[in-house]
Amino acid sequence: MNTTLPPIRHGGDLLAAVRRYGRPADDWLDLSTGINPDGYPVPALPAHAWQRLPQDDDGLAELAAAACGAPHALPVAGSQAAIRTLPALLRPGRVGIAALGYSEYAPAFAAAGHTVALLDEADFTRPELTDTLDHLVVVNPNNPTARVLPAATLLRWHAALAARGGTLLVDEAFIDCLPGASVAAHSESPGLVVLRSIGKFYGLAGIRCGFVLAQPALLDALRARLGHWTVAGPAREVARRALADAAWQQATRVRLQACGARLASMLDRHCLPPVTHPLFCWVPHRDAARLHHGLAQHGVWTRYFDAAGGCAPSLRLGLPPDQPLAWQRLDAALAAAA
């Protein structure tokens, strides 16, 4: 464990690639995020979605809770709103956060007065991980390493933390493809907070809508901090439709499993064995920086990660759009770069 906080970085920074390589934005295959590139088809919205103030009692919270298998849900403006606000609602203490993972958590907890302990990937194999912690953040599946922890492990850690007034925060932004690993059903328990996103699986990152699953008292405190109208009316309208469309969800799980396997197979063929998730592949490689640059020279934008958490430098590649030309372009770029 260490306490040197990494800088905040995100994928989806396509304009940075445009400036660096001089290639127009519409001439890139952007694989720098793990967002479903063939997301939920957004319908035309009724005029009232734009004209009225957002209605907190429009059924979105109940739909989200049902879709996630949770007792309660609070809609928020993407997980980001909760990540920046929740640490101040928890008793200051020592919080464990993956060194190689979503980079917003460590600075948010540090700013709220917590002591951050950055964890190596190997730490998440230790049954006694929580012994020296007051709180623990687990992104499950982890971004970018695709590590998936069993629900039983998470619930055991939660019980240990809650017994001494601590909290387990589980970020399930990428869980929709693997719903059996979710702990959302237990989120009413004191000391357990689950975050869900509609941006990744549903491919709706632009509407900035996510959900906090927790006991009602914590949700009430978070709601009071965030205030009214945190999720815009059009975003609520789209989210309700997507969450209620069970047929689309099931078909999308099947399709993403196939696309994820196809991407993994392609990387294997180019001698870049990945760790896989249906929405992205993670490739630890000593020459990751060179590969990132080589792919960019062929108009393929990936996410590069420096060595961290006991892992080598690495690339994360999201799925191409489900179109033959996109897959062919990626195959050719990998052949040239690898």
pLDDT, tens only, 285-336:
999 999 999 999 999 999 999 999 999 999 999 999 999 999 999 999 999 9
Residue of 108, 119, 104 whose CA lies nearest to 197: 104
pLDDT at 12: 60
Same domain, 226 and 251: no
Tell me whether residue 237 is in a domain.
yes
* Predicted local distance difference test score (pLDDT) of residue 13: 82
Residues 124, 253, single domain; the answer is no
Rounded Cα distance, 135 and 126, in Å = 16
Query: Domain with 84 in it: what CATH number?
Result: 3.40.640.10
User: Is residue 144 a contact partner of residue 178, using CB atoms and an 8 Å limit?
Assistant: no
For 26, the domain range is 14-39+247-337
Domain membership of residue 162 (yes or no) is: yes
Number of domains in the chain: 2
Is 79 inside a domain boundary?
yes
1, part of any domain: no
Tell me which residue of 211, 196, 200 sits closest to 62, measured CA to CA. Answer: 211
- C-alpha pair distances (Å), 25 with each of 21, 162, 205: 10, 48, 18
The token pair at 140 is 């499950």
Q: Does residue 258 sit in the same domain as residue 236? A: no
- Kindly state whether residue 171 falls inside one of the protein's structural domains: yes
Residue with tokens 């792919």: 295
Q: Can you give the pLDDT at residue 11?
A: 62
Residues 294 and 305 in one domain: yes
Same domain, yes or no: 118 and 92: yes
Q: Give the global pTM.
A: 0.95
User: Is residue 156 assigned to a domain?
Assistant: yes
Residues 184, 138: one domain? Answer: yes
- Residue type, position 265, single letter: S
Could you tell me if residue 222 is inside a domain? yes
139 with 236, same domain: the answer is yes
In this structure, the answer to whether residues 103 and 157 fall within a common structural domain is yes
Q: Are 206 and 234 in contact (CB under 8 A)?
A: no
Backbone dihedral region for residue 14 (phi beyond 0: left; psi -120 to 50: alpha; all else: beta): alpha
Kindly state whether residues 324 and 227 are assigned to the same domain: no
CB half-sphere exposure, 107, CA atoms < 13 A: 8
> Low-confidence residues of the chain, pLDDT below 70?
1-4, 6-12
Q: Write down the H helix ranges in the chain.
A: 14-21, 47-51, 60-68, 78-85, 105-111, 151-162, 216-226, 233-244, 246-269, 288-297, 324-337
179 and 232 share one domain: yes
Name the residue among 140, 131, 152 with its Cα closest to residue 101.
Answer: 140
Q: Is residue 305 part of a domain?
A: yes
- What is the dihedral sign for C-alpha 315, 318, 321, 324? positive
